[in-house]
Chain A
Amino acid sequence: MMRIPYGRAAKAASAALVVLLLGGCATAWEPRGSYSRTEQTRLAIQSTPPAQVSVNGKVVGTTPATIALQYGREVAMKSRKIAYLRSEPGWALFLTGITFGFYIPIGCIPLDIQTEFEPRDVFKENVFAVEITAEGYEPWKQHVVCKGEETQDTIAILTKK
């Protein structure tokens, strides 16, 4: 009787399926533009002697003071198609179970969408003109540049006129 040589083909198909399952199926990342989100840095200012603080020409308080500086930061987006077995393995396994394994090859097709957001070191309106003034003293000025830090400290020592 002739034996059908399906053993090797079945093994090859199983190996290919395992590779697909382990590696997952996904397309290449594609850029999807960007958007701007607000960042905030708290600027702690101290001075000798205590004085009035202005930021960009607007009086905000007297030292010692902590001022919230807000500016924009660019966030880049990229997305790709990904197999449902990778994006939602729980649901994919459930579907595989109730379909008695029929869903496995379908679950390897990259159909779902995966997106990643990457904050860039690109900032908008992140330079602030800080001025400290007190009667009888020379005004103290400094440009503060914010780059996503949570806090910044500045100590100003005023000189008499």
Chain B
Amino acid sequence: MHAYHYRGRLVAACAVLLLAGCGSVRHATQYDREFAAAKGMKIEVGSTINVTGRSYEEDIVLMFRDALSQELSDRNLLWSPTGTTPHMVLTTRIVEYEPGYSLKRWLIPGWGTALCSVHCELKHSDARTLLGSIDVRRTISIGRFAGARAVVENVAVDVASQVKREIKAK
């Protein structure tokens, strides 16, 4: 009777894990020791370049730019072109990307992994001084449908969160 009781919960937990998807995340940030963001300083989404050396069915550059703009906007950090105050510019290089394959991830965890890795640089808009860099790598290796878009959006969330955390700390 106890086995049946726990088996149902275990199946439910596995179903949730598979639908949500599981993977790994890695962050690395480096900021100039004299980095001091002025209060209320906003961020412009600068150039985003695909340096993977490969082309994909989906436009990953546009996907990432849209996701990053949305995340910065949600955190009240997105710069508006109508503003005249100095701001920061966040440029991105997409260094690694694999769209993965949903069916493979559902069949064998670790197979068909979706991954996205970016190198972002934060610069001052006027002086063009390098204020800091952020490296993020995310994978979805178990379950999840639409992993390609999800992994790119999750990386954008990570980048925006890291920037927000650093600005708040200063």
Q: What is A's interface to B at a CB cutoff of 8 Å?
A: 32-33, 35, 37-38, 40, 68, 70, 75, 77, 79, 83-84, 87-88, 91-92, 95, 98, 103, 106-107, 109, 111-113, 115, 117
Contacts and interface: CB of A to CB of B under 8 A. Distances in A.
Interface of B: 10, 14, 22-24, 32, 51-53, 93, 95-96, 98, 108-113, 115, 117, 119, 121, 123, 127-130, 133, 137, 139, 141-142
Nearest to B137: A115
A107 B110 CA distance: 8
Contact of A37 (B52, B98, B128, B133): B133
Given A88-B110, A111-B108, A40 B115 contact: no
Q: Per DSSP, are chain A's interface residues mostly helix, strand or loop, or mixed?
A: strand
A37 B123 CA distance: 13
Given A84-B141, A111-B112, A115-B96, 5 more contacts: A37-B93, A37-B121, A75-B119, A88-B24, A113-B115
Contacts of B119: 35, 37, 75
A87 B95 contact: no
A40 B127 CA distance: 13
Contacts of A113: 98, 113, 115, 139
Contacts, number: 75
Contacts of A84: 109-110, 141
A53 to B, nearest CB: 15
Given A35-B119, A91-B109, A112-B113, A68 B142 contact: no
A98 B53 contact: no
Contacts of B117: 115
A110 to B, nearest CB: 9
A83 B111 CA distance: 10
Nearest to B98: A113
